[in-house]
A = this chain, B = another copy of it.
Amino acid sequence: MAEVKLIGMWASPFVRRIQVALELKGVEYEYVEEDLANKSELLLKYNPVHKKVPVLVHKGKPIAESLVILEYVDETWKNNPILPKDPYQRANARFWARFIDEKCRPALWQAVWGKGEEREKAMEEACQNLKILENELKNKKFFGGESIGLVDLTGNFITHWFVDVIEEAAGIELVTKEKFPILWKWVDEFVSCTPVKKNLPNKEKLVEYFRAGFSSGSWKY
């Protein structure tokens, strides 16, 4: 067995976070594609609690949950840090990563797939949250400063997934360049980075996937 193994699913932004992180660190790994409609024994063995991807297996020991994995990767391979050194800056990075995962993502999701009044409310909430993110990004190239870090990796859902793919698949326009110029600039910078670029799923395939809906329901948004 390879020393580092990643159990993933090609369309998942959570899995791609880890791929970019491993790329940044220069860690070689074996990638195992999971069929979430027919979960493998490997996945059930290594993530019996959530039964979800990504799972990183390092020296035979599994780690689940993408934000937990990112911290593990950063603590295990210390080159090209994903989190800053200073405790206060680390707290800030963790705060914004949580904000993206717990506030931005669910609202964006509901704004696309919700119904009626619920959807309207989610659209408003999503825009408010993205404005807060814009404000945080002001005068910075990345959330992490000059290089990508935890918050950028967590925000990958907004980049290639939401702005480039899901809006097209759903036929809506929410995160427009006019409304969110700073976020757009960041999306451009982010997807142009080599480690990110190398780990983006094919756009057309992704649009098709999202159009078909999430019949499996096995990887959370």
A contacts, CB < 8 Å to B: 49, 58, 61, 63-65, 67-69, 71-72, 75-76, 87-88, 90-91, 94-95, 98-99, 132
Complex Cα distance A64/B92, Å? Answer: 9
Complex Cα distance A87/B94, Å? Answer: 17
Copies in the complex: 2
A contact patch SS:
helix
Complex Cα distance A71/B98, Å? Answer: 14
A155 → chain B, closest Cβ, in Å? 15
What would 27 A/B residue contacts be, using CB atoms closer than 8 Å? A49-B99, A49-B132, A58-B88, A61-B88, A63-B88, A63-B91, A63-B95, A64-B95, A65-B94, A65-B95, A65-B98, A67-B94, A67-B98, A68-B91, A68-B94, A68-B95, A68-B98, A69-B91, A71-B90, A71-B91, A71-B94, A72-B87, A72-B88, A72-B90, A72-B91, A75-B87, A76-B87
